[in-house]
């Protein structure tokens, strides 16, 4: 897609840039970068989300880069004919609230699980949404502030786990492009003091109850914690030398949320969670990382032993793929 087509579409409209619920650094950086890109071309946009910004790293990012994001509760003036651009998210996914505005555009790097006809669609299989936004600046020769370049660089580094997960040539090319423009001290600052003391409880719980079945590790966090922390712990469990697939799940106010990691080429993490949860909830994502949830109203369907039900569901899908050689 041509970024100038997006500019033409959005002119003379009230614009909101919406991330997925519980925005992570890549989502925040992408939204912030697109806001600056549109602003240079004469289009004002507000950043919005539903859910919570509950991780210290995300809160620190807003403060470090001077980013303002409005929660759903602070959007009383949004109207049905206002335009929404989805970034790092797609309409009808379980982690994206359907706000009152009109989702006319989508910029994302996740696989498509629920097709939708946008007026502008840029969905590519790259490691980060931030690299896509960076390419908008590069391809159109749009000036880029040092602060915005640093935010986008941090978004790329975080979503690719410093180029160890799902990274592509575009991620690498855009990091090199951003490095020329970024205030790199801001990036370095983001790597310090990003864990809260209470996070140790979640790590402790995961370590205490981890179970491993044929190189698939399951761990449960039995108390409400940040969704982003569940994802971080899934990376931690995957680092074990006896684990190739990590399934981490934790109780939330709206149900049970999952984070999946896979180092097995045959096992696509997004397809795995979509199949495993299809009787109770939903999920999806990349080949190496994915997420999903079982809403609270469906928890009774898991039976008396929710852990056995969850483990059986995932292991059956994994076994079916491995034995039958199904497409991953």
pLDDT, one tens digit per residue, over 219-275 is 999 988 877 788 889 989 998 999 999 999 998 888 999 999 999 989 999 999 999
123 phi, psi to nearest 5 deg: -120, 115
CATH number assigned to the domain with residue range 200-324, chosen from the 4 options 3.40.50.2300, 3.10.310.30, 3.30.499.10, 3.20.20.70 = 3.10.310.30
- What pLDDT shows up at residue 325? 64
The pLDDT, as a whole number, for residue 201 is: 86
**Who's near 99: CB < 8 A, 6+ residues apart?**
16, 18, 48, 50, 72, 75, 78, 84
pTM of the prediction?
0.78
Token reading at 212:
């491993």
Please tell me the predicted confidence (pLDDT) of residue 227.
76
Q: Does 3-190 match 200-324 in CATH topology?
A: no
Domain boundaries, the chain: 3-190, 200-324
CATH (residue range 3-190): 3.90.1640.10
What pLDDT was estimated at residue 58?
Answer: 86
Task: Name residue, tokens 């399934």.
Answer: 247
Question: Which residue from 178, 171, 136 is spatially nearest to 156, judged by alpha carbons?
Answer: 171
Low-confidence residues in the chain, pLDDT < 50:
326-328
Instruction: Kindly give, in sequence order, each residue whose CB lies less than 8 Å from that of residue 40, ignoring residues fewer than 6 positions away.
Output: 142, 143
pLDDT of residue 328: 45
For 298-326, the DSSP string reads GGGGG-S-HHHHHHHHHHHHHHHHHHHT-
């Amino acid at each position: 897609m041509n970024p100038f087509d997006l500019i033409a579409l959005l002119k003379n409209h009230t614009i909101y840039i919406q991330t997925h619920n519980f925005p992570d650094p890549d989502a925040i950086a992408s939204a912030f970068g697109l806001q600056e890109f549109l602003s240079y071309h004469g289009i004002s946009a507000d950043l919005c989300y539903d859910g919570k910004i509950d991780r210290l790293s995300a809160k620190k990012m807003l403060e470090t880069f001077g980013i303002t994001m409005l929660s759903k509760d602070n959007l009383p003036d949004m109207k049905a004919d206002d335009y929404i651009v989805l970034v790092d998210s797609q309409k009808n996914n379980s982690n994206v609230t359907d706000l009152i505005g009109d989702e006319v555009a989508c910029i994302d790097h996740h696989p498509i699980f629920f097709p939708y006809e946008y007026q502008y669609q840029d969905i590519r299989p790259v490691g980060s949404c931030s690299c896509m936004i960076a390419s908008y600046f590069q391809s159109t020769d749009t000036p880029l502030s040092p602060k915005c370049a640093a935010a986008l660089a941090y978004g790329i580094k975080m979503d690719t786990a410093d180029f160890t997960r799902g990274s592509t040539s575009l991620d690498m090319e855009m990091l090199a492009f951003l490095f020329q423009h970024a205030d790199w001290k801001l990036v370095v600052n983001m790597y310090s003091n990003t864990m809260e003391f209470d996070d140790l409880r979640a790590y402790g719980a995961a370590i205490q109850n981890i179970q491993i079945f044929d190189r698939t590790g399951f761990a449960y966090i039995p108390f409400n914690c940040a969704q982003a922390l569940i994802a971080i712990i899934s990376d931690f469990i995957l680092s074990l030398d006896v684990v190739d697939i990590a399934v981490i799940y934790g109780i939330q106010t709206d149900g049970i949320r999952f984070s999946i990691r896979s180092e097995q080429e045959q096992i696509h993490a997004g397809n795995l969670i979509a199949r495993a949860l299809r009787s109770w909830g939903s999920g999806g994502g990349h080949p190496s990382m994915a997420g999903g949830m079982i809403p609270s109203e469906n928890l009774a369907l898991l039976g008396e032993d929710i852990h056995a039900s969850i483990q059986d569901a995932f292991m059956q899908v994994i076994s079916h793929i491995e034995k039958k050689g199904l497409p991953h």
